Chain A
Amino acid sequence: KAGVTQTPRYLIKTRGQQVTLSCSPISGHRSVSWYQQTPGQGLQFLFEYFSETQRNKGNFPGRFSGRQFSNSRSEMNVSTLELGDSALYLCASSLELAGENEQFFGPGTRLTVL
């Protein structure tokens, strides 16, 4: 089985722009979660989607949003980018609800905001 894929792998944007990141989960997995990883804050939970519904949302501003499609693929969007949004964004999928099962992580998208 193919693993979790994320596109693009690297992205450079400037402040004020918006960005969309994509995640394709492992085939058959219904849950997709997104995390932001920075040296200072570590791994922080952004949101989880299960069967196209947002199940949980972390403590991030409304500029961060996401969605999940019927094929379980997910996208996250960050609008009005700030310098502090520079981070590694990780997507993870699991067979059922995240947290109850092993999560499989993608390689991440490295976002740099200039």
Chain B
Amino acid sequence: SQQGEEDPQALSIQEGENATMNCSYKTSINNLQWYRQNSGRGLVHLILIRSNEREKHSGRLRVTLDTSKKSSSLLITASRAADTASYFCATVFNQAGTALIFGKGTTLSVSS
């Protein structure tokens, strides 16, 4: 499978804690994207990180990319109940052209 794989599959934390999700993939990539899906807002783009970048920030989100280990991580700092959602990494594989391939996702539950 060309899918990225997120780890863990599920994560439960308290408000104010940090949440870290990981994504591993198998072949070389052009870029890697993170998306969030919840019932209220559907699937929403969070961050795109290109293969020549190592880290990107967006508000309380921090994404790292390690192409040597074929892995990426998404860190959400100071989590809020509203961060409760499923988080997906999506990769564009050089061989597949521009198609976005999604992983199965990490389900994050943030309780107050």
Contacts and interface: CB of A to CB of B under 8 A. Distances in A.
Contact of A103 (B100, B101, B103): B100
Interface stretch (A21-29, A65-73, A92-100): A92-100
A62 B108 CA distance: 36
Interface of A: 33, 35, 42-45, 48, 55-56, 58, 90, 92, 97-108
Interface string B75-111: 0000000000000100010001111111111000000
Contacts of A102: 33, 45, 48
B30 to A, nearest CB: 7
A35 B54 CA distance: 28
Contacts, number: 59
B31 A99 contact: yes
A100 B43 contact: no
B13 to A, nearest CB: 23
Contacts of B33: 102-103
B10 interface: no
Given A99-B31, A100-B31, A108-B42, 6 more contacts: A42-B102, A44-B102, A90-B42, A98-B100, A99-B97, A103-B100
Interface residue SS majority, chain B: strand
Q: Secondary structure at chain A's binding surface: helix, strand, loop or mixed?
A: strand
A56 B45 CA distance: 21
Interface in B51-88: 88
Contacts of B103: 42
B6 to A, nearest CB: 10
Interface centre among B100, B101, B102, B104 (most CB of A within 10 A): B100
Nearest to B99: A56
B45 A43 contact: no
Given A42-B103, A42-B104, A99 B98 contact: yes
A90 B42 CA distance: 10
Contacts of B35: 105
